[in-house]
Every structure is written in structure tokens, then in C-alpha cells.
Structure 1
Amino acid sequence: MSEKTVARILKQLGMKSRIVKKYKATTNSKHQMPVHEKYLNQQFSAQTSGEVWMMDIPYSSTDEGWRYLPSVMDHVYPTDCGFQMGSRMTKEPVLSALERAYQAHRPASEVLHHSDRGSQYAAQEHQKKLVEYGMKGSMSRKRNCYDNVCIESFHSILKKELVYLEHFKTREEYISFTWSSTA
């Protein structure tokens, strides 16, 4: 079936297709901070909750500017363990999201903490928190979203199914919508 035929049928049914936004790389992996080996190695086979946590920072625009949502996701139960809104993509909201996840779930054994190579995750403060919480760091290869595909996929669906269908005038409007939609 051609695109025009699909578009015509959708229009007759009063429907629209969801358009995927173009990808824009935002990870700053060009830093001099140390990075972890890729221990996860695309082996998404954790057996119990609290064994592997993945972290990423999706973002969306509002009329007032960008909004960032650093979040932590458990591999076995793919829901957000912890997240924190931020108006800048800095280490502070990332640390807050990790703190929230840790306080909410208190893992009983070592957690493999996987993220991209962003400066927020490589920052000394973030690395200290991993040690304090008994977590083992793991980082994706440069420019390889498949190393963190579980959380990337979760955020992609969140954006396509919720965020891209709305227009947000203020950052507060985006925050309240996102929090109420994921709760």
C-alpha cells in the first residue's frame, strides 16, 4: 500500500500517523573523565529486580525551553525506578534521579549501573555515589544506542505515545503532564 493510500484512509477515519522526530545527539562523551567498561555488553538477561539498572536522559521542548528527565530503569521490571526533572542537562538532576531510585528500592546486592558515556555519568560525584551505593558502573560504546536499548526504547515509546502528541507552553505544564502520565 502506498503512503498516499494510507494517508487517505487515515484521513477518512479521522486519524493521523505519529511522526517520529529526528534524532539529535546530545550526549557529551568528548570529555577527559574516566569511563567504565561495557559490562552489560548487550546481554539483557537479568533474572531478578535490582540486578541491572539503566540510566538515560530524554528531553523535550516547551515554549520556555528544553526540559530534561534523567531516569533510572530496572531491567527486569521496565518501569522508572527514579527520575528527576531538570532545565539543564547537568549532573545534578542525574544525581537526584539516582538518589530517588536508591532510596525507593534499596537494592540488597550489587547493582550493575549502565549508562552512556555522558559527562553527567562520568562525573566524580556520580562515580562516588555508585561506590557509596555498592553499584558497579558500566558504560555504552560511543555512538551505540543498542548498548542501552531497553531504556532508549522505553523513552522512545514515552515520547511517541505521550509527549509528541502535546504542545507544552511552560516547563511546569510539561512536568505535571509527564509525572501524571507515567504514574
Structure 2
Amino acid sequence: MSGKRYPEEFKIEAVKQVVERGHSVSSVATRLDITTHSLYAWIKKYGPNSSANKEQADFQAEIRRLQKELDERDILKKAAAYFAKLSGLRYAFIRDNNRCWPVRLLCQVLDVHPGEFYAWLQQPHSRRYHADLKLTGHIRQFRMESSCVYGYRKIYLDLRDNGQQCGVNKVWRLMQRVGIKVQVGYRSPRTRKGEASIVTPNKPQRQFNPGAPDERWVTDIMYIRTHEGWLYPAVVVALFSRKVIGWSMQLRMTKDIVLNALLMAVWRRNPQKQVLVHSDQGSQYTSYEWQSFLKSHGLEGSMSRRGNCHGNAVAESFFQLLKRERIKKKIYGTRDEARSDIFDYIEMFYKSKRRHGSSEQMPPAEYENLYYQRLRSV
């Protein structure tokens, strides 16, 4: 796919994955399905040495300084509750939290010499204790790789794929022992029935499992609160694999959001047959520009009944996952911070790593690749 076909916001967020989050160019290019040559060109244009980003350097440094202060305060707050009953658990606290903060920082805050802590770690324990400790380490690793959203069932599948011999109940017990909790979702509000729509018929009729890719897409818009104001993301999801194939994030909820998201989906997928694109009856989707775009690109429109969100349940489900697994745990200071975090969730985690029950517990990209492999073998 040519790099010039991606919108500017996609390029900027792709560069941030390399510059700010520390991912390698090759790994980011692989997950985003772009060439390394294009990514290097984007880094040259949008990277930290470009004129557009130099003015952000001081601001980012201040953010890192404040984050360090917050980390130290969080350590003290958590340690106070940890030592409420017994004051001799400092070493255990450092052991249980050394994946969240560096060991030397924990020792400094808790007034513990690092040598004493490492000597305490060498105390003899049973084989079972060491086995459970090793397995707990793997659990924490896979938990962090899932952005701390997986429960014991999905972590058990990751452990099994990694060659670890354990039972699903043991994974649950170890997670309970170290206090790893399942991410709790939002409660969906109850809605009343809406009036029948005559804009475009509801053609999928809640049939959310097509037999092949690019037969049906769904699209929707949500809103995210930041201290700077609202940010409005729009996505296009392929029903076959639940893969997000197009997205756009802007400051206002206009028709340009949905048009840019759908344009990205068309460029990425280049469908050879007519695709059914399902949405609600928002003003962005009933606009003349939306209908004209569908017609000019050989797409077929479909809409849910007004006031009824169940017809577009897959898009609603994705936004619920996004809120539960990423947004609920964050407080965004700026829209740019929220945009980068959502890009990371969609492109770096959800598409290539997050397992789905509707796709045989595989990530969307892997599920689609398996489909094409089976198709070629027939």
C-alpha cells in the first residue's frame, strides 16, 4: 500500500510508536502493514527533529517530570496500605511491584538497601513455591502485553500457546493471590424503541458473522473527554474478523470524520466486490456526501432503526472494549495524548494481539490470514 494513501493523522501516530513508545521500525511497519521505507520517510517529516515537533519537546519533558513525581507518590500510597498490618513486608512489596517501578526506585522510597532485598530473594523455598512464582511472572508478562485487560481465561490461552503446563483454575488462583483483577466494563444504558427509519433499510438484520472478509462492514462514532475538550473517533470494523480497518479522530463531530474513516478502509482493503456498510441514522451518515461516497466506490448502505443500537451491536461492542480496556484507566490531559493512546490500542494491540471469542480466540489479523491460508489449500 502506498504511503501517500494514508491520512496525515495516521502517519503522525505511526511515527509516535517509534519515537515515543520505543518500538522498532520493522515491528511497527509489520503491524501497520506498511513498508519500512514509508515509515522512515514519515519519521523524517514528523519526527522529533522536524520543525513541527521541536516546540513540543519542552512540554513532553515537563510531562515526564510530573509523571515521575506521580509514580513516587503512588508508591508511597500503595506501600502505606500494604504495610498497614505488618511493617516487615517491605521486601515483599518490592518483589510484587518491581514490574511497575524500578527496584532501585522502590528501595530508595522504602529506605531499603538493594543488596538486602536481593539477599532476601535468595531465601530457600519449596519447588512448588518457585514454580508458582515463575508461572506468576509469566502471568504478569502476558497481562502487561494485553495492556492489563485480559482475564484468567485469555491469559491461560497465552500460557498454553507459550508451552506452559498449567490448568485454567490454577491461573485463576494465582491471579487472585497476587491481586490481579479482571477489568470491569461499563454498564450499558437502557434505551427505548425508536421509530422505523425510511432512510436506508436494515439489510444485515443483526446477522453479524459473514462467511468471508469484506462482505459487510459496520461504522460508528464515539466521544472521549479530555482536559482540553472532546475528541471524536470514528471507526470502520470488518464483521468477518472484527478488525478495525479504518478510523479517524477529529475535534468536531462532522461528516468528515466518517468519510475519512471509510476512505481509509477502502484504501486498505480495496474490495473487489460490493461491500455492505452498516451504520446508525446519525446526521453524518444521512448526509448527501456519505451517500455519494458509497455510490462512487461501489458500496451499499444500510442503517439501523432510529433509536435502536442493537442493529449496530458490533461497532458498539468495539467502543465498549476501547472504553473498558484503555480509556477507563486513563485521564487524558490533551486531545493529542488521547489520539496517540487510541492509535496504540487499535493498530498495535487490538488488530494484531487481542484475542476474540467470535474468531476462535485469535487476533483479527491472524484470523484473516488463517482464512486465506485455508482458501489457498482448497
Answer whether TM exceeds 0.5 for this pair.
yes
1:114-151 per-position Cα deviation (integer Å, ceiling 9, x unaligned): 00000001100010000011111100011211101111
1:85 partner SS = strand
Q: State the alpha-carbon separation in 2 of the partners of residues 19 and 39 from structure 1.
A: 30
Per-residue deviation, 1:16? 8.3
Q: Corresponding residue for 1:170?
A: 334
2:274 is matched with 110
* CA displacement at 1:93 relative to structure 2: 1.2
- Classify the secondary structure of the residue corresponding to 2:210: coil
Residue in structure 1 matched with residue 285 of structure 2 by the alignment: 121
TM-score normalised by the chain length of structure 2 = 0.42
Counterpart CA distance in 2 for 1:88 and 1:63 is 16
Specify the alignment match of 2:262 in structure 1: 98
Q: Determine if contact 2:183/2:325 at 8 Å carries over to the other structure.
A: no
2:179 corresponds, among 3, 9, 13, to: 13
Which structure has greater helix proportion? 2
- CA distance in 2: counterparts of 1:59 and 1:21, whole angstroms: 17
Cα 1:78–1:15 shift into 2, 3 Å: closer
Report the alpha carbon displacement of residue 22 of structure 1 after superposing the two structures with TM.
6.6
Range 169-178 or range 13-22, more displaced: 13-22
Aligned length: 168
Which amino acid counterpart does residue 179 of structure 1 have in structure 2?
A: F
Specify whether residues 15 and 172 from structure 1 end up closer, same or farther in structure 2 by C-alpha distance, changes over 3 A only.
same
Other-structure match for 1:149? 313
CA distance in 1, matches of 2:211, 2:181: 40
Number of the residue aligned with 1:41? 205
Q: Deviations over 1:18-46 (max 9, x none)?
A: 36267599xxx99xxx7211111112231
What residue is the counterpart of 1:63 in the other structure?
Answer: 227
Structure 1 letter corresponding to 2:264: R
Unaligned runs of 5+ in 2: 1-175, 348-378
Q: Give the conservation status (yes or no) of the 8 Å contact 2:186–2:320.
A: no
Give the Cα separation in 1 of the matches to 2:337 and 2:238: 27
> Aligned partners of 1:157 and 1:95: how far apart in 2?
23
- Counterpart of 2:225 in 1: which secondary structure? strand
Aligned partner of 2:179: which letter?
A: L
One-letter code aligned to 2:294:
L
Which sections of structure 1, spanning at least 5 residues, go unmatched? 1-9
Letter in 2 for 1:77: S
The equivalent of 2:244 in structure 1 is 80
Question: Larger radius of gyration, structure 1 or 2?
Answer: 2
TM-score, structure 1 as length reference: 0.83
Runs of 4+ in 1 over 3 A off after TM superposition: 12-19, 21-25
* 2:288 counterpart letter in structure 1: Q
CA gap of 1:137–1:165, structure 2 versus 1, over 3 A, is same
Q: Which residue of 2 aligns with 1:54?
A: 218
- Higher RCO structure, 1 or 2 (CA under 8 Å, sep 6+): 1
Change (3 A) 1:175 1:138: same
Query: Aligned with 1:67: secondary structure?
Result: strand
Seq. identity, %: 34
Letter in 1 for 2:267: Q
Deviations 1:50-72 (A, max 9, x none): 10010001221000111111110
Counterpart residue identity of residue 149, structure 1: A
